[in-house]
Homo-oligomer: A and B are copies of this chain.
Amino acid sequence: MALDVLEPQSSDEQLHKVNRALSSGMFVHVRQMLHQMACADVALLLESSPIRTRLVLWQMVDHDQQGEILEELPEDVKDALISQMSAESLAAATAGMDTDDLAYILRSLPDSVYQQVLVSMDSQDRARVEQALSYPDDTAGSLMNTDTVTIRPDVSVDVILRYLRLRGELPEATDTLYVVDKQDVLLGGLAITTLLTCDPNITIKKLMNRELEAIGVDMEDTKVSQLFERHDWISAPVVDDKGKLLGRITIDDVVDVIREDAEHSMLSMAGMEDDVDTFGPVFKSTLRRTLWLTVNLFAALLAASVSNMFEGTLEQFATIAILMTIVPSMGGVAGNQTLALVIRGLALGHISDSNARWLVGKELAIGFLNGLIWALLIYAVVWIWKDDSALALLISGAMLVNLTIAGLAGAAIPLLLKKLNIDPALAGGMALTTITDVVGLFAFLGLATLVLL
């Protein structure tokens, strides 16, 4: 019988089914469904669920699946789940993990739990992990796994073939065996495809690729990803400064670096951190966005103070003209933060019909909270600067309205555009800025006209 062909909708449907079962309280059924799903799909489900649902689901996941699922999750989500787990279940979950993921998880644990997990490992694993923990984040060392298969140069292919058959299973994404000397210094590589196609009597020395390029353990992870992209590598050996083989980096970890770097650029341009969790709690999300809005308020005030220098030109009610750019500007920045998150969520396939409504509601709530914070602040600034409490009240009212609308529009616009088959990344920003400009000016100037005239 032919194999099933993967349908692009399949993961959306799975998500729907689990959510339906969950909301009708069929927990046994949910547990069964989770058990049958691939770990990567469970990870996607967790990542696409609101924070409370996520914790409920996590309780139902098989314990021996937890480790692999944790490996697939982004940092923010991973941290939240780990903080809910006991030391014993953590130790159990991390048992079969890759060194690099294990090191990451250990780094983020409180000291007492960390020690407990370490104690529960066998001594070889412990040594491996302690080594991995010694490499700084964002270097080749932190991306590396130690599961290399090494061979000696002076044996024949036939010997290697028999050795591999004795050894059994090879580590995932093994495309090259590494040839090393007695001091573990890397001499070359042997593609396993070569092993399959060559004459079994040749010695490794004659066959091995001496041009194999090795990565220094201190290389920046971004550089590593550039090399992988440029040379189409599946895996690459990592060596210390004496050429000693320490481990290997595989393409799946590099893909994560490429994705993270690219997202980092996009989210950073909107003033967001890149490990941010689209489905995390509202208060945390609001706080995370304040830095950029603070910086923008200073920038907007700087612009206003430039206009202020020309007060003579602007004449009567000049103050209104001077202040009128502040509210639209803050709305633009706040809305763009939401927009960048939602566009990323759509690109990663995290947002579907089942959670879109929830997400818009969340962003609206963040917008309103943001509005309250910045209304208070701008009230204080304008009152002190212009000594006019009516004007200060006015601008803070406009700020509240505009930031709330900005949150709503930032989430709703890309979802709407997607439905209409228009590229949200292209049209979203401009549609958003137009809305925040128009609403901001209307609210401020409209209130001013009502109150002051």
Q: Which of A3, A175, A193, A195 has the most CB of B within 10 A?
A: A3
In the assembled complex, the CB of A214 is this many whole angstroms from the nearest CB of chain B, namely 5
Of the stretches A19-27, A112-120, A162-170, the one at the interface is A162-170
Decide yes or no whether A320 CB sits under 8 A from chain B.
yes
Decide yes or no whether A290 CB sits under 8 A from chain B.
no
Decide yes or no whether A312 CB sits under 8 A from chain B.
yes
B-contact 0/1 string along A161-202, CB 8 Å cutoff: 100110111101111000000000111100011011111000
Of the stretches A340-348, A383-391, A401-409, the one at the interface is A340-348
Decide yes or no whether A6 CB sits under 8 A from chain B.
yes
Decide yes or no whether A242 CB sits under 8 A from chain B.
yes
* Cα separation A220 to B318 with both chains bound (whole Å): 55
Of the stretches A231-239, A351-359, A360-368, A369-377, the one at the interface is A231-239
- In-complex Cβ contact of A449 among B241, B264, B313, B347 (8 A): B313
Decide yes or no whether A125 CB sits under 8 A from chain B.
no
In the assembled complex, the CB of A67 is this many whole angstroms from the nearest CB of chain B, namely 15
In the assembled complex, the CB of A233 is this many whole angstroms from the nearest CB of chain B, namely 8
- Which residues of B sit under 8 angstroms from A44, Cβ to Cβ? 230
Decide yes or no whether A75 CB sits under 8 A from chain B.
no
* Cα separation A441 to B429 with both chains bound (whole Å): 23
* Cα separation A310 to B95 with both chains bound (whole Å): 68
- In-complex Cβ contact of A243 among B5, B187, B231, B263 (8 A): B5
Q: Once the chains bind, are A216 and B7 in contact (CB under 8 Å)? A: yes
By secondary structure, the A interface counts as helix
Q: A226-B348, A227-B6 are in contact. Are A269 and B340 (CB under 8 A)?
A: yes
Decide yes or no whether A393 CB sits under 8 A from chain B.
no
Q: Once the chains bind, are B222 and A3 in contact (CB under 8 Å)? A: no
Decide yes or no whether A80 CB sits under 8 A from chain B.
no
User: Number of A residues contacting the other chain (C-beta, 8 Å)?
Assistant: 123
How many copies are assembled?
Answer: 2
Decide yes or no whether A212 CB sits under 8 A from chain B.
yes
Q: Once the chains bind, are A306 and B445 in contact (CB under 8 Å)? A: yes
Q: Which of A242, A313, A317 has the most CB of B within 10 A?
A: A313
- In-complex Cβ contact of A445 among B226, B302, B307 (8 A): B307
- Residue in B closest to A160 when the chains form the complex, CB atoms: B196
In the assembled complex, the CB of A285 is this many whole angstroms from the nearest CB of chain B, namely 18
Q: Once the chains bind, are B165 and A197 in contact (CB under 8 Å)? A: yes
- Which residues of B sit under 8 angstroms from A243, Cβ to Cβ? 2-3, 5
Decide yes or no whether A147 CB sits under 8 A from chain B.
no
- Residue in B closest to A1 when the chains form the complex, CB atoms: B187
- Which residues of B sit under 8 angstroms from A268, Cβ to Cβ? 423, 425-426
- Which residues of B sit under 8 angstroms from A348, Cβ to Cβ? 226
* Cα separation A219 to B187 with both chains bound (whole Å): 43
- Which residues of B sit under 8 angstroms from A328, Cβ to Cβ? 303, 325
In the assembled complex, the CB of A426 is this many whole angstroms from the nearest CB of chain B, namely 4
Q: A5-B239, A210-B3 are in contact. Are A265 and B310 (CB under 8 A)?
A: no
* Cα separation A252 to B320 with both chains bound (whole Å): 56
Decide yes or no whether A314 CB sits under 8 A from chain B.
yes
Decide yes or no whether A28 CB sits under 8 A from chain B.
no
* Cα separation A1 to B441 with both chains bound (whole Å): 71
- In-complex Cβ contact of A428 among B231, B269, B310, B347 (8 A): B269
Instruction: Using A165-B197, A172-B232 as known contacts, list a sample of 4 further A-B pairs with CB atoms less than 8 Å apart, ordered by residue number in A.
Output: A5-B239, A265-B343, A310-B446, A320-B321
10 closest A-B pairs by beta carbon, nearest first, are: A262-B262, A2-B243, A321-B321, A268-B425, A232-B252, A40-B230, A310-B445, A170-B193, A303-B437, A268-B426
**29 contacts across the A-B interface (CB closer than 8 A):** A1-B187, A3-B186, A3-B187, A3-B239, A7-B216, A8-B219, A161-B196, A164-B197, A165-B196, A172-B232, A175-B175, A226-B349, A228-B255, A251-B251, A251-B255, A261-B347, A262-B262, A262-B265, A262-B266, A264-B425, A269-B269, A269-B339, A269-B343, A312-B449, A312-B453, A313-B448, A321-B321, A321-B324, A325-B328
